[in-house]
């Protein structure tokens, strides 16, 4: 699970890259859940929350740029 402080410190291109990686991980987790089950189903929830955090920070930066 990523902390919001760590996310805020990252640059926008790094966040975009991390977002893509998390989306791939979420796909793999969902796939393994459907096929053979997961050891920790809560991992899906954590990854989804990380994706939401990153999207929120990216959107805040986008709006801040638009207001300048």
Summarised one tens digit per residue, pLDDT across range 25-65 is 999 999 999 998 888 889 999 999 999 999 999 999 999 99
Put simply, whether the predicted model's pTM sits higher than 0.95 gets the answer no
Which domain does 31 fall in, by range? 4-67
For the domain that residue 57 is a member of, what is the CATH number?
A: 1.10.287.310
Number of domains in the chain: 1
pLDDT confidence of residue 41: 87
Q: Give DSSP secondary structure letters for 30-56.
A: HHHHHHT--S-THHHHHHHHHHHHHHH
pLDDT for the residue numbered 31? 93
53 within 8 A of 4, measured Cβ to Cβ: yes
């Amino acid at each position: 699970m990523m902390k919001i402080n760590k996310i805020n410190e990252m640059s926008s291109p790094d966040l975009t890259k991390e977002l893509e990686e998390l989306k791939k991980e979420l796909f793999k987790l969902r796939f393994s859940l459907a096929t053979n089950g997961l050891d920790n189903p809560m991992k899906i929830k954590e990854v989804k929350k990380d994706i939401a955090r990153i999207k929120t920070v990216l959107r805040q930066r986008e709006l801040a740029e638009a207001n300048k």
